[in-house]
C-alpha cells in the first residue's frame, strides 16, 4: 500500500474510548465496545 489506511477522505466519524472497561480476551466485550463506539461516534469536520 502506498499510504496510510484508512485515508483521511475515508474517515466520516470518530469515537474515542478507553480500554479500562473492556475485556480484550472476551469477544462479547469487544463487540459491545465496538457497538457502543459506533453509536456514540461524532461526524468529523472536513
β-pair partners for 13:
43
Alpha helices by DSSP H, listed for 1-46, are 27-40
pLDDT tens, position by position, 9-40: 888 999 999 889 899 999 999 999 999 999 99
Q: What is the DSSP letter of 35?
A: H
Q: What is the pLDDT of residue 4?
A: 79
Query: Rounded CA gap, 1 and 44, in Å?
Result: 24
> Whose CA is closest to 42, among 13, 8, 16?
13
Whether the per-residue pLDDT at 1 is higher than 70: the answer is: no
pLDDT score of 37 = 94
Taking all residues of the chain, what is their mean pLDDT, rounded to a whole number?
Answer: 90
Phi, psi of 26, rounded to the nearest 5 degrees: -115, 115
> Any idea what DSSP says for residue 3?
S
- The pTM score is 0.69
Amino acid at each position: 500500500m502506498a499510504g496510510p489506511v484508512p485515508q483521511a477522505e475515508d474517515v466520516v466519524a470518530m469515537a474515542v474510548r478507553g480500554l479500562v472497561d473492556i475485556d480484550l480476551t472476551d469477544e462479547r466485550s469487544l463487540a459491545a465496545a465496538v457497538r457502543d463506539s459506533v453509536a456514540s461516534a461524532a461526524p468529523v469536520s472536513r
